[in-house]
Structure 1
Amino acid sequence: MAAAESGYKAGVASQPVKVQKKNSLPKGFVYLDEVIPTAQYEIRYYSENNFTGSRVDGYKAPLAIFSQAGAKALKAVSDDLAGKGYILRIYDAYRPQKAVDDFVAWSQDAADIKMKQQYYPKLDKRNLFKLGFIAKKSGHTRGGTIDLTLAYAKTGTLVDMGSPYDFFGEISYYNTSLISKTQHANRKILKDVMVKHGFKPYSKEWWHFTLIKEPFPSQYFNFDVE
């Protein structure tokens, strides 16, 4: 299949870049921008702005790939939010197993703490797995888990959720007492619409949702994001 161009946004979601899609996805997977073109895409693990400080193994393009079933459910989420004045910003969808393995290797390098202040200022990186912020087997690798937030449709600016994406600490727990009532209300808007359309939230990361009826509930994939 011929390569196609995508207006994906890497690193900073307001700066579009042209990407050549490889278009060789396994059966049952799709490019999310072809299903939800109105969303913003800031694929953090393709950039250096993530908790490792480097592009993560397996991310060869700033693309969001997801299971077809998950994409259909997420399109319903997007359509529902459009009537309320919101669009989605997607940070990560399908994640290769090699990327998860890259996280494991990073966690074992105690000397590498260049992103500590931004992403895990109060934690020892070696404990991130034990604390539930990173998993050695991830729902992302099954194509059933998505990391995302809300932005205002009129301005494209992010809705205030009280803590940034991938911040490892108690403030990222959905029910934390460390954020305001308005920030809680914003998290609830995202959670409620995701739950309505078949996704299950994760209590320790307000941005993390897994499709309940996953098409590949026990299969972990390792194809590149490209």
Structure 2
Amino acid sequence: MNGLVRRSFLAFGAAGFAAPTAFAQTRAEWAAIGQYGDKAAPVTVFEKDGALHIDGAGHASARLTATGRGRYAIAGGGELVLEPGAVQLNGTRLAFHDFGAETEAAIHAGVRADPEALRRQALAATPPVETGDFLPADLVDLTTVDPRIKLDIRYAGSNNFMGIPLYERAGAYLQRPAAEALKQAQAALAAQGYGLLIHDAYRPWFVTWMFWEATPPDARMFVANPAKGSRHNRGCAVDLTLYDLKTGRVVEMPSRYDEFSGRAHADFVGGTTKQRALRAVLREAMTAQGFEVYAEEWWHFDFKDWRRYAIGTKTFTALGGGK
């Protein structure tokens, strides 16, 4: 079981959420939270109301009741048995999978073959020709919007699904109306004790080209088609999460940032009660200010006026300044 899931359970218990007596299970049982079986139709084990539940293989958020020695009766019929690195569902063994990590490893292997060649091809590629009466670009540095908005720009380093730096420096920009809306979202979240942590905002078109070329076809719902351009390219999309204003700690969500798996979906049923509640806090604050969540990614929000801006090609070097 990966560390994210294991830490998620511990965070849930420490948060003081009310839970029934059934919550007093062993750590090994709660560490079973995750996904099993086939990537196309996984079985998800998750926590809800202080108890384990299962979703998939004909079960819809069915509660699990412990019957002893890692065995559980499934509400509605059937049995689940916990094993190291697997579960048995009605006698069929299903191995644990971190589908996102598996996809990321495949992308890393492909990119490492010749990252500079990929970058050269991207910079030489031609963005799609657009027609329309677009507003002039007016990108705002998000570090100037509100001091509580912090940056963790993954594409400025190698801690990202590509495994290489893509931006020349860490920076985050949005078109001015979107930046003002983000400021309002931060104000509302601060009243609840949270700050915004930005992973990405404006993205040059050539990077979108690199993403598309490097991503396997079965995972391309997580990246934009460069033939159409990304809302990130238009300066009207932002990838972000929450951090605790008192401690500075980043909160835990149902998946990692940029995880290419069903756990990233905005309405994924899995994870823990606390993770899903925090995801809802972020979503409610953003949608109240004119942003819309991207269905496949809980962290990605598009500003309502994105259609009014053209695809941007400026690199971070060309943008200049910033922090």
User: Structure 1-normalised TM-score?
Assistant: 0.76
Aligned residue among 264, 285, 308 for 1:217: 308
Between Structure 1 and Structure 2, the one with more strand by share is 2
> Counterpart in 1 of 2:299?
207
**Partner Cα separation in structure 1 for residue 211 and residue 256 of structure 2:** 19
**Partner Cα separation in structure 2 for residue 162 and residue 80 of structure 1:** 22
Q: Deviations over 1:25-71 (max 9, x none)?
A: x7411111011222220111111010110012xx1110111111110
Matched, 1:35 2:127: no
Work out the percentage of aligned pairs sharing the same amino acid: 35
Aligned residue among 110, 135, 139 for 2:224: 135
Structure 1 residues 218 and 73, CA, compared in 2 at 3 Å: closer, same or farther?
closer
Shift of 1:218: 5.1
SS of residue in 1 equivalent to 2:232: helix
CA contact (8 A) 2:137 2:309 kept: no
Give ranges in structure 1 of 5+ residues lacking alignment.
1-25, 108-124
Give ranges in structure 2 of 5+ residues lacking alignment.
1-135, 318-323
Q: Deviations over 1:52-108 (max 9, x none)?
A: 10012xx1110111111110000001111111110000000000001111112323x
> Counterpart in 2 of 1:155?
247
Q: How does 1:177-188 map to 2 (within 5 A)?
A: 177-188=269-280
Matched, 1:86 2:194: yes
> Counterpart in 2 of 1:99?
207
Between Structure 1 and Structure 2, the one with more helix by share is 2
Length, aligned pairs only = 179
CA contact (8 A) 2:158 2:165 kept: yes
SS of residue in 1 equivalent to 2:280: helix
SS of residue in 1 equivalent to 2:203: coil
**Partner Cα separation in structure 2 for residue 51 and residue 126 of structure 1:** 15
**Partner Cα separation in structure 2 for residue 47 and residue 225 of structure 1:** 13
**Partner Cα separation in structure 2 for residue 147 and residue 133 of structure 1:** 12
**Partner Cα separation in structure 2 for residue 222 and residue 161 of structure 1:** 32
Q: Deviations over 1:158-180 (max 9, x none)?
A: 11112110001011111112222
Q: Deviations over 1:89-134 (max 9, x none)?
A: 0000000001111112323xxxxxxxxxxxxxxxxx33221xx101
CA contact (8 A) 1:171 1:178 kept: yes
User: Larger relative contact order (C-alpha < 8 A, sep ≥ 6)?
Assistant: 1
> Counterpart in 1 of 2:64?
none
Q: How does 1:39-50 map to 2 (within 5 A)?
A: 39-50=149-160
After TM superposition, where is structure 1 displaced by more than 6 Å over at least 4 residues in a row?
none
User: Structure 2-normalised TM-score?
Assistant: 0.53
> Counterpart in 2 of 1:165?
257
**Partner Cα separation in structure 2 for residue 182 and residue 38 of structure 1:** 23
Larger radius of gyration: 2
